[in-house]
Copies of this chain bind each other. A is one copy, B any other.
Amino acid sequence: MNIGLLGFGTIGSGAYDIINGELGHFPKDRARITKILDKDPSKHADSAQIVTDPDEIMNDDSIELVIGLLGGHDFEYKMIKRALESGKHVVTANKAVIGAHFEELTNLAEENGVMLRYEASVGGGIPIIKNMEEQLRLNTIDKVSGILNGTTNYILTKMTEEKTDFDDALKEAQAVGFAEADPSADIGGGDVSRKIAILSSLAYGANIEDEKIIKRGLDDVRSADILETLRMGYRVKHLGESVNKDGEVSAVVEPVLVKESHPMAGVKNEFNIISIEGDVIGELQFYGKGAGKEATANAIVEDVLDVLDAVDEGRLLKKPVLSGNVSLNGNDAFEGAYYLRINLGANKKHDLSDILEKVEDVVSLKHVNTQDNKVFIFTDKVKSTDFDKLAESFEVGPGEMFYARIVE
């Protein structure tokens, strides 16, 4: 089978190295990349033609499969639609496109009798999409959660292990290539919410829209939070999470605390972990590299192999069943004990006793510590919607407050 590759950046060249090159043991007799779309015509590939005009791939009837690794949204969305409409199978890592058009694109693939695969769009090299599909054959999945962003996890690992503050850890992440020059989609939770949208759409059989997922970024975490929560036996993690309770879906991306002995506590640097809960299988977790050239390219080519097998055997891989029978409703379903740090004097309206009184109006205090003009509070269990409201009421500036739900 001839393959057209859209994008010859890091992941694209990794996929090329596997399919046309010597990385791994891809069955060379079964498929090869014949054309690569890249805006830079000076790029060279030994065994494929570099093209700058997408028509050269889209109008080439010998190309039966398109791998989409351009990134961004608009142009790749158009390309994926066009490929599907041209009767070409599509394998992509583009979470922005899949997250925003899950239902439309899976339907479009079906209408055109071709397959759309997107394993690498979530969790890098972790085979979460395929495993979820397999479990969904028997199970009703009602919870999905995970550490899904290498940048924030790298920052939190550095802050925890080397006691660096947020800004320095971010700069370090940028220096080693784990964070982009504009890290706002990573830090703000937008990257994770797209991935949770994809996982939730598949798990609950409905188009869960990324925009409606509540996002709290990691901007406000400071080394004081890392130290205080470590002292109390916790690790700070940036978690994406969704639950389905009888068709009411709650989904959130936010900082959380997990106990040191929690399976997610040991997930470091660019590694990701994803947990799913089924009614028969119970909890399953999948751990691996959430980013990086080889691992992500591996996921891309696993998809390619599945498409090749299906084509050779004259069948189509099953498309997700979208019954549409759920609605997304904020973060109503979540509750937990909370950790809260407020810098005293951050807001002239609140002194220590005011703060404690306001918190106690909402939830019992379990542990209070003041140090370096900061108050650190651990609370009893409370609904997340109530705690979010409480936190909002403090009206403090960036970094002057940080809070996180404790996940058991």
Interface residues of A (CB under 8 A from B): 18, 23-26, 125-127, 130-131, 134-135, 137-140, 260-268, 273, 278-289, 292, 294-295, 297-299, 301-302, 305, 313-315
Contact = CB atoms under 8 A, between A and B. Distances in A.
Contact of A280 (B24, B138, B314): B24
B288 A282 contact: yes
Contact of A305 (B138, B140, B281, B289): B138
Total copies of the chain: 2
Nearest to A276: B288
A294 B140 CA distance: 14
Main secondary structure of the interface of A (DSSP, over half): loop
Given A260-B260, A263-B266, A281 B138 contact: no
Given A25-B140, A302-B138, A285 B286 contact: yes
A288 B279 contact: no
A281 B295 contact: yes
A95 to B, nearest CB: 19
A134 B301 CA distance: 11
Contact of A139 (B138, B263, B298): B298
B282 A125 contact: yes
B280 A294 contact: yes
Contacts of A279: 24
Given A24-B280, A266-B266, 10 more contacts: A18-B138, A24-B140, A125-B282, A261-B265, A263-B273, A280-B297, A282-B288, A282-B295, A284-B288, A313-B315
A283 B290 CA distance: 11
Given A24-B138, A134-B127, A137-B302, A281 B294 contact: yes
Nearest to A233: B260
